[in-house]
Amino acid sequence: MALSKQVFPGDVQDIQVPVIAQHYLVCGTEDCKKNCQFYCNSCHQPLCEQCRDEHHIIPENKNHEVVPYRQRIRKLPVEKCKDHPTKDIDMICENCQVAVCSKCLIKDHRGHTFDDLETIYSKNFTMCLDKIYNINQYYLPTSQDIKRDIKEDVLKLKAFMDKIRTSIKAEAESVKRLVEKAMSDNLEQANEMEETLLEKLQSQDKAYDEYNGFLEILVKEFQDYLSYDKVQNNPILLSLSEVLNIKPIPMSTEPVYPVFTAGQYSKNDVAKLLGTVTVPTTKPASRKIKPIDITSTQLKPTRKLKEADGDELEVNQKLSLSSSVTNVKEYKVPGVKSVYHISGGQSGILWASDASGNLVQTDLHGKQLQMIETSGTNEGYHTVNLDGNLIFADRTNCSVNSITHGKTINRFITTEKWVPLSIHTSNLNGDILVGMNRLLMGKVTRYNKTGNKIQSIERDNKEQQLYKKFPHYITENINGDICVSDYSKQAVIVVNKSGEHRFSYTGQESKIRPYGICTDILGHILVCDFNSNTVHLLDQDGQFLTLLVTSQKRIENPLCVCVDGDNNLYVGYSGTNTVKVYKYLQ
């Protein structure tokens, strides 16, 4: 592919782009298509070097302030004074802190101090863009990292407490066994005591049985004495002292009963046996928050980030378009015939889909991790939110579903009679953008993270229909612009975050048939063109910059694009399950 050297305004180094590419910024003079290098702050017009010189020659432009383009002052939005409708508001009264026009200065603010509103606007606008950039590149990612750490800590806590509960039950079982053993020993001792006392009582009982037998015999003898009817040898006439001698009653003792002394214990004593669960007095360590250092992050833009009116944010010049596009890797996605859409998840994990509704999760080695059958076709119908969960559109049921932890499918948005085609999760606030159609109409609807509808975009300020029936790919730029590929309209349609139409890109030499679309950290818009088998690179204002991916033999047809956190460009193709990875920034 033939290359020509092209200098982008204000860039430190030259960048080679294809000869078909237009300039990054062109001169604003009519019929002049040269590089814009300068800017007239007085009439807000971009100028090339030649036109700058001619601009100064014109007498009425003699005192105009022409500066290098990067030093330009942003144009103040035009607003008429309510009290003086023919005058523009262009000054601010520092005493009253109100925006005023020139007539207001003379009439109501004599003797006050004034400042140029355009200068303040330009300065503060840049500061706001700087804050947005810092939020997107540091605060949001850092907060999400900490949130993921908290989720991991929740899982660790549950596992740790399960171990403690197991230990408590094991300790209780051990104490229970000791109690049963002690109880068994006490019962055995009581049984032995009972047996000893029973033997003693039984011995006494036997002695009294013998004594009673003796008495019965003695009574019988006495009765015999009384019935003796002779005098001769009559025992009763003999010595009665010996005959009437009765043995004394045997002595016996009462049993001494054992005494049971109950154990003296409390709940705390039992707790000491079982062990206790306590919270350590150690002060919890604060989670480490990496310091903000935009210059050390992977995403370091080299150019100014542009807002909706073409304004730019100057940032550290660490990242720029490479002089060439390099294919650094490729891998196959099992389970799909063509790769019609790619959405990035956690590091090293991607979701890819084909026109048959096959949605596959894979790692960067081409290993299939999960596969889902959906009603999706040749559109960007799935995305991954800030929590890493998959969200996809269901054409059949006119709904949007989410998959939590890779398992549970939850329908949380119903689009009623509108068929959802494309979907994107905002990296700015987590909102969900859905491109949808009904009959010959198309629209974009914004939902918050919980699925509540908060915005509907259908028409421009002239009440003209923005989209036709097939807004089949959608993304969001760093400034909040909503970028839509509308295949039926043969255009990339861009509106700002308020839904106001900014521009439409329809191609260069011929009409494009736009497919997959994404944006990068520089605010570039990357879109696949089905007609030319290429990927077009646009700036934030829709200016064509270059062709990133081309097919000289017109065999491969790029269908979808995705840029990861390391600024790698992933491209999916028609007729193959291969995803190619390119480096186009340096």
pLDDT in tens, the chain (586 residues): 333 333 333 333 333 333 333 334 788 888 887 878 888 988 888 998 889 988 888 888 888 988 887 778 888 888 899 989 988 888 988 888 899 988 888 888 888 888 888 888 888 887 887 788 788 888 888 888 888 889 889 999 999 999 999 988 998 998 899 889 989 999 999 999 999 999 999 999 999 999 999 899 888 888 887 777 777 777 667 666 666 678 889 888 898 988 888 888 888 878 777 777 777 887 888 887 877 654 433 333 333 344 333 444 443 345 677 777 888 888 889 999 899 999 986 667 889 999 999 999 998 788 898 899 999 999 999 999 888 889 999 999 999 999 876 667 889 999 989 999 999 999 888 899 999 999 889 999 999 988 999 999 999 888 899 998 889 999 999 889 999 999 999 999 999 988 999 999 999 878 899 999 999 988 999 999 988 889 999 999 999 988 888 765 545 789 999 998 888 899 999 989 999 999 898 7
Beta bridge partners of 527: 517, 536
- Beta strands 514-519 and 419-425, pairing class: unpaired
DSSP letter for each residue of 66-86: EEEGGGPPPPPPP-B-SSSTT
Q: What is the pLDDT of residue 518?
A: 96
- Six token digits for residue 191: 């049984």
- Six token digits for residue 176: 């229970």
DSSP letter for each residue of 179-228: HHHHHHHHHHHHHHHHHHHHHHHHHHHHHHHHHHHHHHHHHHHHHHHHT-
Beta bridge partners of 519: 525
- Flag whether the pTM goes above 0.75: no
Closest Cα partner for 31 from 11, 54, 51?
A: 51
Whole-number Å distance between alpha carbons of 127 and 121? 10
Q: What is the pLDDT of residue 19?
A: 33
Q: What is the pLDDT of residue 388?
A: 84
Q: Which helix (H) or strand (E) holds 370?
A: strand 368-373
Q: What is the pLDDT of residue 327?
A: 85
Contacts of 264 (CB under 8 A, 6+ apart): none
